[in-house]
Structure 1
Amino acid sequence: MNRHRQQKRQQHKSWQQHIKQHRSRYILQEAAAKAEATTAAAAVSAAAAVAAAAAVAAAAALEASAHEALPETATAATAAAATAAAAAATAAATAAAAESAAESAVGHHQQQKAARAANTCSTSNSSSSSSSSSSRQTDRHSSKVAAAAAAATTNCFWPEWDLTRIPTGSGGGRGGQQKSQKQQICLLLQQQQHKCLQQQQRCLQQQQQQQHKYLQKQRSLLQQKQKYLLQQRCLQQQQQQQQQQQQPRLLI
């Protein structure tokens, strides 16, 4: 019995030494897995934000073209909508690739944890529970980031989302990250609006030029018509004069 207890104590001490030696490596591996998952979630939220911004810009261009009722603007808005659809498809593909990469990374990390669990018993069980809680926290953070991006894309046109009212300080923690994300999204939307306005101005200029050319053509046609009418009158007058001159001679 005493020998059995001594063996148990020695095994326990050896397990403790093994855990102390390899604890830093386990912590680094878990941190790397968390970083990969966070990066994938950020890529997904960024792709969704870009797709939403492109869709909002295309919708604004379409609405503006409907109000202006210009064929050139409608064509440009249709092209912008097609570009936005392509961007949304690309963003969806990027998001799917990022999600698959995150799932593969998490799956590989879980396999490593399972292999360690066969060797380290209770310690690996505690680490797996902590990793599952960290993955849940990462999922919550990614969902919050996606919700913030969606809210920013829908509310960026309101006055309270003006860039002059958003603090430019770096800020610490999640608040600073959310502010920087809001600033980037608002800047993107403002750039899209500026491009749409420039396109509308170009379309208006083209329409004015076309109207000017049309008016010039109409004036030239009117001038030609007036000349033709004058020529016809002159011919009629000449014919009348000739007839008047010929009538007395016939009488004589």
Structure 2
Amino acid sequence: MTGNLLGVASTRKQVSIPKLRSVRLPVRASLLAVAFLGIGACEPTLPDPVNEHSADFNSAYRRGLDLLERYRLREAQREFERCILLDPQASQGYWQLGRVQLVQGRIADGIARLHKALDLDPSLGAARELILETYLGRGREALEEGHYDEAREHFANALATDSTGYEPLYQSAITAIWRQDDGAAEAFLTRAVARHPEVLELRWHLQQVRAMSHQGDADGFPDHIARRGRLPGHFVEVAATLGVDKMDGGRSSAWADFDDDGDLDLAVLGHPELAYYR
């Protein structure tokens, strides 16, 4: 998941995301893993050959699956293309050919085949999930490389696939923040909170975006240190004031909405007692 929204937004005009190949490779690797391995558990059962397909279709389909499992992609591609020629109305051929093309890096072709499979069989949820994960993966890759318009396009496609999903809405909001479109970010987060009210993080992010839009300085967020008349960048000791200095050695801390009032609270674990601030 994208990192702390406050940190991202408050520095968006000062820093850029590193454009390193080492950033790019893990995203692509995970995308290929989704296409090749991640959907295995959702593999559709081959229909009864007596009732649904010819023996030639079933034979080509099984050969294609075997070749795909052994990563012989060109040969698997030919078998699934043969399935489509034998029965253009069967979703299975398009579904498996789409998987092969994604692994080959032919993203647009793979997505088109998966959409065709869905058109023929709207109940093929695994195809929809793979389309969604492909768009999300490409969007994250573009976002990490600083290609914000490209990321927006991929996340828009993800939203078209799943208009209420947490990840498409959240990533669209993050992209809008990087594009300095706080209005769009607020709209995406408002939709996300309405659909996923149990996720405290979304509500907190929405508060920060509204602060950027309506109360912020030139960089979006108010400079609380400057407001108090101190030099920016200096830390101020407030533990005693907040009542969280009750220990001689801190062990860990956590932010959460412990009292369920919609705001983040702080719990600090140490010796001899637990400190709590809300």
Q: TM-score, structure 2 length as denominator?
A: 0.28
Name the structure where strand makes up a greater proportion of residues.
2
Name the structure where helix makes up a greater proportion of residues.
1
Structure number, greater radius of gyration: 1
Q: TM-score, structure 1 length as denominator?
A: 0.30
